[in-house]
A and B are shown apart, each in its own frame.
Chain A
């Protein structure tokens, strides 16, 4: 008997009792839909987090320092630069980061909470900043404490009449000239990265009235060097500060990796739990197929009397079980994808269905049909023709 005919016959049987076929498929549909939805939502979450982090440099290591006031042990900016220079195979692009709390004005207009940071000329490579006009800070600006600044698009659009270059911004009463405008990074609102101002950190320290920098950014020279670089910085700070201060050294990409790993585990566990309903669905298929074999004993007898061999009968029932679960699988895939995409809209990320879980769950549902269909099919195949014919 050819496969094509077996498919035709199994389709006939499925159509002969539509409601029953649907109920039989339900377990598979729910299982596959749940697996697909969970996996695509997980993928979507991961994408949105990765997107968020990818706007930052991926090799960046952040250093934070806290030193007790009365202690004479400290880490100076020069210490940090010396350390980076001594470890050029691991580190590059050091920038102190000095936040300024204060009033920012343009003419007489007070700006709404712009973020003002003092940084070094290396900061643009740390944060992968791109300029649409002018230039970023340079070494001489920092060394000579030039009163210059680089601003985001929100500031240009809202306070500088769309024309940033050469304008004057007043920070705590001091005039800074705009020498560069950054490309738009966020959604150009007050709370976005586009409401930022960068000035030389040397000026920022002066404005804050301190010499101490508590925050640095530095790049590892390569992805492979992130972990050793972080360890080296930690060792250096431990030696400098131990007992008299606190510090943290963290690498974004390592954090991201940790996060992804954790989320993968969660998604896998959830998908496995959803997968249990696939198993239940498989048992449902087996159950219905056993009932079907009993109901169709006479049909099996007729087929055998006309020359059907065991493998013909077995093939017929296995294909029937496999197509039941395969159809359930396809419906589940569609349903799960729709649910995943709807969740994507709610979470404000785009969830694109990936091929591998779709192929995998289709394969698994066909496999479940074959495995759980085998026992009933074999039972049917082994029926004695005359007993089957007499059955009613």
Chain B
């Protein structure tokens, strides 16, 4: 909280304004995101929580420039990215964003080093520089000795560490993690989480998606979604932060600093 309050208000890195994402399923409409407004400052560690189907992944995909909102605007680092073309968004993803997915999303036929090199490849780095930085990144997650292995030769926790190394390789300011511990046992899950905390201390902005309250509490700030709306946005250490949605109806709404809960 200290950091958030001390940050100047113009240091907002991620600014979502009135974001809607509507899917048409035959005659019915699904409001995956139903009017979301959210500011995330540089250096924050935010957990987005909510039940399955509440819109967390949709929200992250929009923050990650993997998807475009039906309406609303999204400024990343002061630039409106919601109206950008495919290739411009690719450039933003490459320079600004590092992804950690629940399913690791490594390319099976490439070895670890080549997997980690991918963002650097698309950034246009020379082969020598790619290799050197990929190895350094693998070393950060303690897997440099397995650089020539294929992902299938690794455990789940190790694969997730590779995907973290890949997210870090290009040194992007924002790390987005969608249920990074979802496929891991609790021990390796904690390992991954402590790694994210380390990254946060190093100055990265981290958005973590989880449905697990105990994991969410490791963040500074929790944003809780239900049915595509924000129902809580505030410090992670307040008791209301971890309230279950079904208990929620009995609780008073706690407005966040700038964001009105839906």
CA distance A389 to B123 in the complex (A): 20
Q: Tell whether A298 pairs with B91 under 8 Å between CB atoms, given A1-B121, A306-B118, A309-B122.
A: no
Q: Which of A282-313 contact B (CB under 8 A)?
A: 298-299, 301-312
CA distance A112 to B227 in the complex (A): 111
Q: Which of B41-67 contact A (CB under 8 A)?
A: 61, 64, 66-67
In the complex, what residues of B have CB within 8 A of residue A180's CB? none
In the complex, what residues of B have CB within 8 A of residue A19's CB? none
Q: Tell whether A304 pairs with B105 under 8 Å between CB atoms, given A12-B110, A386-B61.
A: no
B127 at the interface (CB under 8 A from A): yes
> Per a CB cutoff under 8 Å, which of B61, B105, B110, B119 touches A307?
B119
In the complex, what residues of B have CB within 8 A of residue A307's CB? 90-91, 93-95, 119, 122-123, 170
Q: Which of B119-178 contact A (CB under 8 A)?
A: 119, 121-124, 127, 166, 170
B109 at the interface (CB under 8 A from A): yes
A13 at the interface (CB under 8 A from B): yes
- CB <8 Å contact, B107 and A305: no
- CB <8 Å contact, A305 and B121: no
Interface of B (DSSP majority class): helix
Q: Scoring A residues 1 to 19 as 1 if CB is less than 8 Å from chain B, else 0, what string do you get?
A: 1101100000011001000
> Per a CB cutoff under 8 Å, which of A302, A309, A312, A386 touches B107?
A302
In the complex, what residues of B have CB within 8 A of residue A386's CB? 61, 66-67
In the complex, what residues of B have CB within 8 A of residue A312's CB? 122
> Per a CB cutoff under 8 Å, which of B87, B99, B106, B124 touches A310?
B87
In the complex, what residues of A have CB within 8 A of residue B94's CB? 306-307
> Per a CB cutoff under 8 Å, which of A2, A4, A385 touches B66?
A385
In the complex, what residues of A have CB within 8 A of residue B106's CB? 302
B86 at the interface (CB under 8 A from A): yes
In the complex, what residues of B have CB within 8 A of residue A304's CB? 90, 93
In the complex, what residues of B have CB within 8 A of residue A389's CB? 66, 101, 105
- CB <8 Å contact, B109 and A16: yes
Q: Tell whether A12 pairs with B90 under 8 Å between CB atoms, given A303-B122, A307-B123, A312-B122.
A: no
Closest B residue to A311 by CB, please name it: B87
Q: Which of A245-276 contact B (CB under 8 A)?
A: none
Closest A residue to B169 by CB, please name it: A306
- CB <8 Å contact, A306 and B109: no
- CB <8 Å contact, B105 and A309: no
CA distance A303 to B109 in the complex (A): 13
CA distance A11 to B90 in the complex (A): 25
- CB <8 Å contact, B105 and A298: yes
In the complex, what residues of B have CB within 8 A of residue A302's CB? 105-107, 118
- CB <8 Å contact, B86 and A310: yes
- CB <8 Å contact, B66 and A306: no
Classify chain A's interface size. 20 to 34
- CB <8 Å contact, B66 and A299: no
> Per a CB cutoff under 8 Å, which of B67, B101, B109 touches A13?
B109
Q: Tell whether A12 pairs with B109 under 8 Å between CB atoms, given A307-B90, A309-B90.
A: yes
Q: Number of A-B pairs whose CB atoms are under 8 Å?
A: 68
Output the least CB separation between B62 and chain A (Å). Answer: 9
Output the least CB separation between B100 and chain A (Å). Answer: 11
- CB <8 Å contact, A306 and B122: yes
Q: Tell whether A305 pairs with B105 under 8 Å between CB atoms, given A386-B66, A389-B66.
A: yes
Query: For B106, B122, B166, which residue has the most chain A Cβ atoms within 10 angstroms?
Result: B122
- CB <8 Å contact, B99 and A305: yes
Closest B residue to A301 by CB, please name it: B105
CA distance A1 to B87 in the complex (A): 14
In the complex, what residues of B have CB within 8 A of residue A311's CB? 87
Output the least CB separation between B154 and chain A (Å). Answer: 16
In the complex, what residues of B have CB within 8 A of residue A1's CB? 121-122, 124
Q: Tell whether A308 pairs with B90 under 8 Å between CB atoms, given A386-B67, A389-B66.
A: yes
In the complex, what residues of B have CB within 8 A of residue A301's CB? 105
CA distance A302 to B108 in the complex (A): 11
In the complex, what residues of B have CB within 8 A of residue A310's CB? 86-87, 90
Query: For A1, A304, A384, which residue has the most chain B Cβ atoms within 10 angstroms?
Result: A304
Closest A residue to B166 by CB, please name it: A306
- CB <8 Å contact, B93 and A305: yes
- CB <8 Å contact, A5 and B87: no
- CB <8 Å contact, B121 and A5: yes
In the complex, what residues of B have CB within 8 A of residue A2's CB? 127
Output the least CB separation between B132 and chain A (Å). Answer: 16
In the complex, what residues of A have CB within 8 A of residue B127's CB? 2, 4-5
CA distance A303 to B99 in the complex (A): 11
Q: Tell whether A303 pairs with B118 under 8 Å between CB atoms, given A386-B61, A389-B105.
A: yes
In the complex, what residues of A have CB within 8 A of residue B64's CB? 305
CA distance A48 to B106 in the complex (A): 61
CA distance A312 to B94 in the complex (A): 13
In the complex, what residues of A have CB within 8 A of residue B99's CB? 305-306
Query: For B90, B110, B166, B170, which residue has the most chain A Cβ atoms within 10 angstroms?
Result: B90
Output the least CB separation between A317 and chain B (Å). Answer: 15
Output the least CB separation between A47 and chain B (Å). Answer: 49
CA distance A303 to B67 in the complex (A): 15
Q: Which of A3-55 contact B (CB under 8 A)?
A: 4-5, 12-13, 16
In the complex, what residues of A have CB within 8 A of residue B107's CB? 299, 302-303
A-B pairs with lowest CB-CB distance, top 4: A307-B94, A307-B122, A386-B66, A386-B67
Known pairs A301-B105, A304-B93, A312-B122; list 7 more (Cβ under 8 Å).
A12-B109, A302-B118, A305-B105, A307-B90, A307-B122, A308-B90, A385-B66
Which A positions have Cβ atoms within 8 angstroms of B? 1-2, 4-5, 12-13, 16, 298-299, 301-312, 384-386, 389
Could you give 26 example pairs across A and B, Cβ below 8 Å? Answer: A1-B121, A5-B127, A12-B109, A13-B109, A298-B105, A301-B105, A302-B107, A305-B64, A305-B66, A305-B99, A305-B105, A306-B93, A306-B118, A306-B166, A307-B90, A307-B93, A307-B94, A307-B122, A307-B123, A309-B90, A309-B122, A310-B86, A310-B90, A384-B67, A386-B61, A389-B101
